[in-house]
Structure 1
Amino acid sequence: MFDLLAVSADTAHHVMQYLAVPDPGSGEAPPGSEKILKILKWAAWGVSAACVVGIFGCAAKMANSHRRGEGGEHAMGLAYVMGACVLAGSASGIVGALI
């Protein structure tokens, strides 16, 4: 009985070895990937600049609304811009967690 269990466990182990998904680790960057990283850095800079411009735009709306005595409709725009800032700042962390 124990021999049958040992053979079954050994067979299952060998079958699982062949069916296992290979783990490539963190991978290796291909030649020329420095150019891709440069483009990503430019895009990150552009997104950061857009976030700053968005916050300036919300500040201008807030000042204009305060001057006219209106309510805080601009608060939702500021919330969207702040959400975009958080998402842009944590993008590499999110991707790293998913990979």
Structure 2
Amino acid sequence: MLIEAASALTLQLAAVPDPGSGQAPPGSEGFVAILGWVKWVSLGVCVLGLMVAGATMAIQSRRGEGGEHMSKIGMVLAGVIVISAAASLVGFLVGA
């Protein structure tokens, strides 16, 4: 019973067509350039966000308010991760 199910699954997987490596459609060079600009601007905004979070951290440490700035830094770094992952994924898919 289990062997029959495994062989049926193997036959179904073998029937799935291979789409190949694919290629970018003609005229997609402009799209790739826009993606590069958006990535550059987005990462620049994240650097500014880290600077603002650092300045806020310095001001709050003088007042004795600590700990709140770490969530701001964490959010900015999470944004950097999302931007980098999205740009890399799209670059991989477009360049394939």
Give 5+ residue unaligned stretches, structure 2.
1-6
RMSD: 2.8
Q: For 1:40-93, what per-residue CA distance to the aligned partner results, in whole angstroms no more than 9, with x for missing partners? A: 101111111111011011011101101222122111111111111122223325
For residue 22 of structure 2, give the secondary structure of its aligned residue in structure 1.
coil
TM-score (normalizing by structure 2): 0.70
Match for 2:85 among 83, 90, 93? 90
Alignment of 1:67-82 (within 5 A): 67-82=62-77
Contact 2:57–2:69 (Cα < 8 Å) also in 1: yes
Structure 1 or 2, whichever has the larger Rg, is: 1
1:37 has 2:32 as partner: yes
Larger mean CA deviation between 81-90 and 38-47 belongs to 81-90
Shift of 1:95: 8.4
Contact 1:65–1:72 (Cα < 8 Å) also in 2: no
Q: Which has the higher contact order (CA 8 A, sep 6+)?
A: 2
Larger mean CA deviation between 19-28 and 56-65 belongs to 19-28
TM-score (normalizing by structure 1): 0.68
Aligned-residue sequence identity (percent) comes to: 43
For residue 80 of structure 2, give the secondary structure of its aligned residue in structure 1.
helix
Q: How many residues align?
A: 83
With over 3 angstroms needed to count, the CA separation of the structure-2 counterparts of 1:65 and 1:16, relative to structure 1, is: closer
Give 5+ residue unaligned stretches, structure 1.
1-8
